[in-house]
Amino acid sequence: MNAESTLETVAEIGVSLAGFAGIVGALAGEKLRPAHPEVWIPFSAMISSALGIVFVALFPFLPHHFGASDHVLWAVSSAFGSTITAGNLAFFMPRIWRAQRNGVVPRILAFDVPIQLSAIFLLVSQVLNALGIGLSQSAGGFLIGLYLLVVISGLNFVFLLYILHRTPGHLSGPDDPLQKSR
């Protein structure tokens, strides 16, 4: 395995995104309650995608320390990454689509299209890398999916900030730091 430093760096990015989301959540206060699905759903998706980055980035170390050969290591890691992503999609996408249909969460194509296309491409690339079809069960094939996971999480974070800014709550008004900067 020759991608240790890259994997560790990407895991640190995932931890940072989860930490930033936690800080944003703490500042959101009352907005971040299950009674406010317009904020709760994007916040949960953000935390889940950030932790997904961490788990997927660190997973290759497990088969490596069990002595797996490189092609098995990257095939299993890609399968794990696609499973984590598919689980997140299966859990969050129906809730997000329902909330968008009900007008609770805004449908913004600038976020929806890149996130959904990245998720589809991530799943396809990881399944192909796991099976060795078109991609040779390599670190490169795995890193394609990991990079897309970082893109998805980054877009989720920006979407969360957008939702928090436009959602009325205790920070909206004269004490809102975002309002003061205008």
Q: Is 141 in contact with 125 (CB distance < 8 Å)?
A: yes
* Within a domain: 178: no
* Within a domain: 126: yes
| Rounded Cα distance, 135 and 72, in Å | 13
* Within a domain: 180: no
Total number of domains constituting the chain: 1
* Within a domain: 133: yes
Residue identified by tokens 């999609």 is: 89
| Rounded Cα distance, 11 and 18, in Å | 11
Which structure tokens are listed for 179? 């309002």
* Within a domain: 176: no
* Within a domain: 167: yes
Whole domain around residue 158: which residue ranges?
4-171
* Within a domain: 181: no
Q: Is 43 in contact with 104 (CB distance < 8 Å)?
A: no
pLDDT averaged over the chain?
Answer: 85
Question: Does residue 181 carry a pLDDT above 80?
Answer: no
Which structure tokens are listed for 67? 């002595």
- Taking CA atoms, 180 is separated from 172, 176, 177, in Å, by 10, 6, 5
Closest CA to 170 of 36, 23, 29: 29
pLDDT in tens, 19-75: 888 888 787 776 666 667 777 888 888 899 999 999 999 999 999 889 888 889 999
Mean pLDDT of 126-145: 88
pLDDT in tens, 62-85: 998 898 888 899 999 999 999 999
* Within a domain: 179: no
